Structure 1
Amino acid sequence: MDALWEILVIITVVVLAGLGLLVGYLRRSGTKGAPPVTPPPPAREAKTREANTYTPSSTARIDTSRGAPQAPAPAPVQPVAPEPVDVAEASVEEEVPAPAIERPESARGRMTRLRSRLASSNNNLGKGLLSALSSGKLDDAVWEEVEDTLLGADLGVDATTEIVDGLKRRVQVEGAPDAETLESWLHAELLAQVRPDMDRRIAGSRVGDRPAVIMVVGVNGTGKTTTVGKLARVLVAEDKDVVLGAADTFRAAAADQLETWGARVGVPTVRSEKEGADPAAVAFDAVKAGQEGEVDVVMIDTAGRLHNKVGLMDELAKVKRVIERQSPIDECLLVLDATTGQNGMRQAEVFAGAVDITGVVLTKLDGTAKGGIVVLVQRELGVPVKLVGLGEGADDLAPFDPVAFVDAVLD
């Protein structure tokens, strides 16, 4: 009996074991060919949900009736004031202070103040004349020496002849003079040639309901643009409102140079940003700006040009015509380099034929002993020397003073 039960138990164990093996086999065979399960990727959304999910703290109260934790009410968020920002430090470009506007002194009497420069440049003329005339007997050899000295100073043949003849007449009437008398005679003869009676005023005031228009012309290298800038300072010193026109559109730096001169004294410059633009158009716009702004003076700087270039001279005449469509030109100043002497006269004659010259500006007069160019220019052109350049400083342009000039020549 006991053996029978043992056999039944063994059979039962074997059957159960076989069933277990069968079930395991079926499970394994059922998963074959099934697609692999892809684990959830750590996507950005999961991170977002995780971040937005509230995680209760250890102090959260547990609601036993619902079986879920209940979080305490969140504390109100306190606004955080933004930190102050230093604008100066945060700015990429520091603010550059505007340059101080200069206030030039009046130009009246400036030539007298600069007399020493003029005297040093012309002392050969004065000393040569006084030395020849005070050497003793005034014979033909002395008068010939006087003539050579005057011609060498660029006075020209006509002026030289008139001065020598005038001195001879005085000697015949009054006899041989002493040194002091001789110097006074020479002063009178030279002053007569410089023509103190000429009107040397600059058109620097409004004419009726429009500004005065000044046009500045000359050959290359005479200092034309610099002269315009310095003349602007002279006018500003006289409390004049000025507009500059940069009609020299062929020289790359001309407009920049003129604009810099104007900015120093608070004077605006009308210019074209395009190199090689029509100079007549720039001049027209400058005059128009001056009329609209009701200024006192409009000054037009033109390109330097060789007097023997017909096309360039025709272009200068065109600039003049275009300006005159809206305003008369009250002043046309010719800038001449005093160191060129008589060679500059041919230039002056051609310019006078293209435009109506009303006055001459002699630059670099402090750098030449040939001060007689003043006399020669006035005689040949029939117009006065109105301004002279006596140095490279900003205020070394002086209204021409005939008496101060002759005093300096004979100093």
Structure 2
Amino acid sequence: MGFFEKIKAGLTRTKENIGHSFDQLFAGELDDDFYDQLEETLILSDMGVDTALAASEALRQRAKEEKIKTAPEARDALKAILTDMLTVGRGELDLTSRPAVCLFIGVNGVGKTTTIGKLAAALKADGRRVLMAAGDTFRAAAADQLEIWSQRAGVDIVRQSEGADPAAVVFDALTAAKARNADVVLVDTAGRLHNKQNLMNELGKISRVIDRELPGASRETLLVLDATTGQNGLIQARQFKETAGLTGVVLTKLDGTAKGGIVVAIAQELGVPVKFIGVGEGVDDLMPFDAPQFVEALI
């Protein structure tokens, strides 16, 4: 199954929620009611009020400038507008240095460990040497779960005992990565710290270790979000962006939500690219994000 087919299948619940509204909308006239209904439909898709209003107003303006009169033309214009809204920052991972480092952050239960495992499998299939670092030393069995994924993906893992210093785990992992000529180090981090200061302190220690051991290395800080949490996920993303300096978002469980428009809200309101989306339970169901095909499947 190709990207478009997987995205379309993954957005089934969203289509069931808003697809009929879109179909009715683009069968009518481009009058004031049309734009009011468009705003409502976009809000129902979980784009958020500000993003929905911005998209609707952009379409109104484009229709005026380009003298768009028909619903099919308006639909194509909306697709272009939403694609532009989704196209922010660098869409692909920066893995130019060797080894490159990817930090994964996010609250417990969003699918962080699964995401790391699936990405490890994809990178290995692409011919890269991957090493995992079990930096979540606070949660019971977190390292065990990551080790299961390392075995599934066929990649190395560095771990310590529960309660160990995460920065020490990262140090050991980077040392091993250099000795084993790894291409990418995927670092799990704790999903639950008591406050922002704890998060900043923990990530700060890890960051200093990376700077010292791999000066100038390519680095990604990826926030893993559960799409089914909708606007609550967006609130999480704002908080993490303030403290962690995100380079991208991984949106999991997109196939489980009826409100796939949250992808647009994240990109537009945070100015951070969605780099991967999860559309199923299979190891190959974590997919690089493709804005035009996502919009095509959504609209």
TM-score, normalised by the number of residues in structure 1: 0.67
The correspondence of residues 216-295 of structure 1 with structure 2, limited to 5 A, is 216-272=104-160, 274-295=161-182
Secondary structure, counterpart of 1:346 in structure 2: helix
- Bigger relative contact order, structure 1 or 2, given CA contacts below 8 A and separation 6+? 2
* 1:378 maps to 2:263: no
Secondary structure, counterpart of 2:93 in structure 1: coil
Deviation track 1:213-235 (CA, whole Å, cap 9, x = no partner) reads 11111111111111101110110
Deviation track 1:98-134 (CA, whole Å, cap 9, x = no partner) reads xxxxxxxxxxx95324133233132133432331242
Q: CA deviation at 1:280?
A: 1.2
Unaligned runs of 5+ in 2: none
The correspondence of residues 64-213 of structure 1 with structure 2, limited to 5 A, is 110-123=2-15, 124-135=17-28, 137-172=29-64, 173-174=66-67, 176-177=69-70, 179-195=71-87, 198-205=89-96, 207=97, 210-213=98-101
In the alignment, residue 277 of structure 1 is paired with which amino acid? Answer: A
Separation in structure 2 between the aligned mates of residue 278 and residue 396 of structure 1, nearest angstrom: 32
Secondary structure, counterpart of 2:46 in structure 1: coil
Separation in structure 1 between the aligned mates of residue 191 and residue 142 of structure 2, nearest angstrom: 10
In the alignment, residue 162 of structure 1 is paired with which amino acid? Answer: A
Q: CA deviation at 1:378?
A: 1.5
The aligned length equals 295
* 1:402 maps to 2:265: no
Deviation track 1:172-229 (CA, whole Å, cap 9, x = no partner) reads 453530x43332222222222222x642111334x1xx41111111111111111101
Secondary structure, counterpart of 2:92 in structure 1: coil
Contact 2:133 2:173 in 1 (8 A): yes
Q: CA deviation at 1:262?
A: 1.2
Secondary structure, counterpart of 2:251 in structure 1: strand
The 1:306/1:145 distance shift into structure 2, 3 A limit, reads farther
Separation in structure 1 between the aligned mates of residue 132 and residue 119 of structure 2, nearest angstrom: 11
Q: CA deviation at 1:246?
A: 0.4
Deviation track 1:354-400 (CA, whole Å, cap 9, x = no partner) reads 22211110001111122222122122322210000001111110000
Unaligned runs of 5+ in 1: 1-108
Q: CA deviation at 1:170?
A: 4.2
Aligned to 1:341: 230
The 1:290/1:245 distance shift into structure 2, 3 A limit, reads same
Q: CA deviation at 1:308?
A: 4.4
In the alignment, residue 346 of structure 1 is paired with which amino acid? Answer: I
Contact 1:323 1:329 in 2 (8 A): no
Q: CA deviation at 1:307?
A: 7.6
Q: CA deviation at 1:293?
A: 1.1
Secondary structure, counterpart of 1:294 in structure 2: coil
Deviation track 1:257-290 (CA, whole Å, cap 9, x = no partner) reads 1111111232110001x21111111111111110
Q: CA deviation at 1:171?
A: 4.0
Secondary structure, counterpart of 2:81 in structure 1: helix
The 1:349/1:116 distance shift into structure 2, 3 A limit, reads closer
TM-score, normalised by the number of residues in structure 2: 0.90
Query: Could you tell me the percent identity over the aligned residues?
Result: 49
Separation in structure 1 between the aligned mates of residue 135 and residue 31 of structure 2, nearest angstrom: 56
Choose from 182, 205, 211 the match for 1:318.
Answer: 205
Contact 2:222 2:247 in 1 (8 A): yes
Contact 2:223 2:250 in 1 (8 A): yes
In the alignment, residue 359 of structure 1 is paired with which amino acid? Answer: G
Secondary structure, counterpart of 1:174 in structure 2: coil
Secondary structure, counterpart of 2:177 in structure 1: helix
The 1:230/1:191 distance shift into structure 2, 3 A limit, reads same
CA-atom RMSD in angstroms:
2.1
The 1:201/1:366 distance shift into structure 2, 3 A limit, reads same
In the alignment, residue 265 of structure 2 is paired with which amino acid? Answer: L
The 1:110/1:296 distance shift into structure 2, 3 A limit, reads farther
Q: Which entry has the higher C-alpha Rg, 1 or 2? A: 1
